[in-house]
Structure 1
Amino acid sequence: MDKPLGYWLMHLHNLLEEQFARTLADLGLSRRQWQALNFLSRGDATREELATALAHFSTDSGPDPLEGLTARGWAASTGGGAVALTEAGRATHLEASRRVEVSRATVLGGLTLDQYAETMRILSVMAGNVEADLARS
């Protein structure tokens, strides 16, 4: 463990991005599109609700993930400003979900549920410490 926390966080982030891209490449789904698809699988949402739900996943201003979903016929307007998955979107979500679960299992291989929970707790505390420090500045 001769490398600092920042190294491991960025290294893992980059590996996860690559793994995710490979996992869903043949479906033509980007990570942000997957996140939108997954959010909409829970029910209809407005564009604003979707944007709020996805805001913490990315800081880039890349293409609107909803546009990619609607262009493929995976999501459609329901009227009243809401968007919902189509039958094709639900089928794509089901297949993508299966693949994402396999990828997550690979990432967590060799860890107990308690180890994972403790890792999340520790990262949360570190983030809170930095947030508090930044708020003081």
Structure 2
Amino acid sequence: MKPTSRPIGYWLRHLHNLIEAQFEAALAEERLGRRHWQTLHLLHEAPRTSAQLAEALAPFGADGGGTVDDLTARGWVARGDDGRLTLTTEGRTAHTQVAARVEAARDLLMRGLTTEQYVETVRVLAVMAGNLESARSTAATERR
């Protein structure tokens, strides 16, 4: 069966599941999940409030704060006097170590692809998503 004989929905779901499994395997040694990585990386970029963190992670599903609680218990995240979450020294070290595993997982994903192909794939998917979001918005407006 040719890859193009399957619809895009199949490939999107299949790839999503494979990416999740690859991240799980890459992070298993530290007993981390993909959400742990996403949280560590966002806090590596800048301290954030719980609300800012939740907003940034919302597209990946609700977490209920369990990941932050786990990272805090590990001593990797602390809440400042201003209420913002930030990485501790241990958290910055952990981020560096985990980033190397994440990079290896991404390298595997990108094998055989150029950066330009990746960028174009993301661009095409973003256009498709935008088309459907626009249609959804238009339909909702028309129902009012």
TM range (shorter): over 0.9
CA separation of 1:23 and 1:55: change in aligned 2, threshold 3 A = same
2:142 is aligned to none
Whether 1:110 aligns to 2:104 is: no
| Correspondence for 2:31 | 28
Find the partner of 1:55 among 54, 58, 63. Answer: 58
Percent of aligned pairs sharing the same letter: 45
State which drifts further: 63-72 or 112-121.
63-72
Q: Flag as ranges the 4+ runs of structure 1 deviating above 2 A.
A: 59-64
Larger CA deviation: 100-109 vs 45-54: 45-54
1:17 matched to 2:20: yes
Deviation at 1:71, TM superposition (A): 1.2
Residue-pair matches, total:
136
Q: Which has the larger radius of gyration?
A: 2
Distance 1:24 1:104 in 2: 13
Unaligned runs of 5+ in 2: 140-144
Distance change (3 Å), C-alpha of 1:48 and 1:63: closer
Q: TM-score, normalised by structure 1?
A: 0.93
User: What residue is the counterpart of 2:43 in the other structure?
Assistant: 40
Give 1:5 deviation, angstroms. Answer: 0.4
Change (3 A) 1:61 1:82: closer
**TM-score between the two structures when normalised by the length of structure 2:** 0.89
Structure 1 or 2: more helix by fraction: 2
Q: Aligned partners of 2:45, 2:32: CA distance in 1, in Å?
A: 18
